[in-house]
């Protein structure tokens, strides 16, 4: 089984590199944008012709949520045009696509976990481009999995956990919103879930949700980060209204994982348990 990973140097790409030795029956090729640029069909065709993958994991994305509000064209190029290019290339080469999406495709108005069948209604440019990217893949067709995840963090790349640890060394008081509810997801756990889907060989194509188990606010997440790292800092809970951002975030974006657990027999760890493993 040969797997091409686009965005190989990003957070999820590095997480997949970390777990790859645990899946010796799968040959992973990790490609940076210079090797497989999803916005360039010629670059993709060259990479596919050379590597001859059976599966392509698209870990390349524009993920700067607030910056997307002032860079909609760039976000669209990567998250929509890039997704379509990759889907078309996969179709042409008869390759299965595993595309990573986000909880930001929802508006956060529910109070129970979002299922794959729930109506999408993004509230910002980032969420809109990710939703449009999903739709572009569906329109192209072929063999594809779309995996929506949430609040991704790890020892790799830039993420909330690493930001909190940095701020703890700079400030005595850190204010964090406590009225946005979701689930922190360890990128290593997501990477293992993706590898498990690959190894399964199942053709159960479609949309799936994956995050860790449990529910938290960003404030809860921050407090637990400092607790497990034995860092003493004053964390102040504040409402979203006191921390305005260019992009509006969903107030509630907990994902229902029933489908992915039942289809692929994936055991999903609790977010607090996984966070302790990053210390």
Instruction: Specify the CATH number for the domain of residue 89.
Output: 3.40.50.720
**Total structural domains within the chain:** 1
DSSP β-bridge partners for residue 174: 235
Q: Considering the domain boundaries, does residue 222 fall inside one?
A: no
Domain range spanning residue 24?
A: 2-157+184-213+254-269
| Structural tokens at position 9 | 């140097």
Q: Considering the domain boundaries, does residue 245 fall inside one?
A: no
Identify the helix (H) or strand (E) that includes residue 185: strand 185-186
CA distance 236 to 156: 26
Q: Considering the domain boundaries, does residue 247 fall inside one?
A: no
Q: Considering the domain boundaries, does residue 131 fall inside one?
A: yes
CA distance 92 to 124: 32
Q: Considering the domain boundaries, does residue 206 fall inside one?
A: yes
Contact present, 79 and 65 (Cβ < 8 Å): no
One digit per residue, the tens of pLDDT, for the chain of length 279 reads: 999 999 999 999 999 999 999 999 999 999 999 999 999 999 999 999 999 999 999 999 999 999 999 999 999 999 999 999 999 999 999 999 999 999 999 999 999 999 999 999 999 999 999 999 999 999 999 999 999 999 999 999 999 999 999 999 999 999 999 999 999 999 999 999 999 999 999 999 999 999 999 999 999 999 999 999 999 999 999 999 999 999 999 999 999 999 999 999 999 999 999 999 987
Hey, which residues are catalytic here?
126
pLDDT at site 279: 78
Q: Considering the domain boundaries, does residue 277 fall inside one?
A: no
Report pTM.
0.96
Q: Considering the domain boundaries, does residue 129 fall inside one?
A: yes
Q: Considering the domain boundaries, does residue 240 fall inside one?
A: no
Collapsed DSSP state (helix, strand, coil) of residue 56: strand
């Amino acid at each position: 089984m040969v797997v091409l990973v686009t965005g190989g140097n990003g957070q999820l790409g590095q997480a997949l590199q970390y777990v790859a030795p645990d899946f010796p029956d799968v040959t992973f090729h990790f490609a940076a944008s210079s090797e497989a640029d999803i916005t360039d069909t010629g670059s993709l065709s060259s990479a596919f012709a050379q590597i001859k993958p059976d599966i392509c994991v698209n870990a390349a994305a524009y993920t700067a949520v607030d910056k997307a509000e002032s860079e909609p064209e760039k976000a669209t190029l990567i998250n929509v045009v890039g997704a379509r290019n990759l889907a078309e290339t996969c179709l042409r080469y008869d390759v299965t696509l595993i595309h990573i999406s986000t909880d930001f495709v929802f508006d956060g108005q529910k109070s129970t976990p979002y299922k794959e069948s729930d109506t999408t209604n993004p509230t910002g440019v980032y969420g809109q481009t990710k939703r449009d990217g999903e739709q572009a893949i569906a329109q192209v067709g072929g063999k594809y999995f779309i995996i929506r995840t949430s609040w991704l963090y790890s020892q790799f790349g830039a993420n909330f956990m690493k930001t909190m640890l940095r701020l703890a060394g700079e400030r005595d008081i850190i204010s964090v919103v406590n009225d946005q509810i979701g689930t922190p997801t360890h990128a290593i756990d997501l990477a293992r879930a993706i590898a498990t889907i690959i190894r399964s060989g199942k053709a159960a194509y479609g949309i799936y949700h994956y995050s860790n188990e449990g529910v938290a606010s960003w404030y809860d997440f921050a407090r637990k980060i400092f607790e497990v790292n034995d860092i003493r800092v004053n964390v102040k809970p504040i409402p979203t209204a006191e921390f305005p951002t260019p992009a509006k975030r969903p107030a509630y974006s907990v994902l229902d994982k029933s489908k992915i657990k039942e289809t692929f027999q994936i055991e999903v760890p609790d977010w607090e348990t996984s966070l302790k493993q990053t210390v």
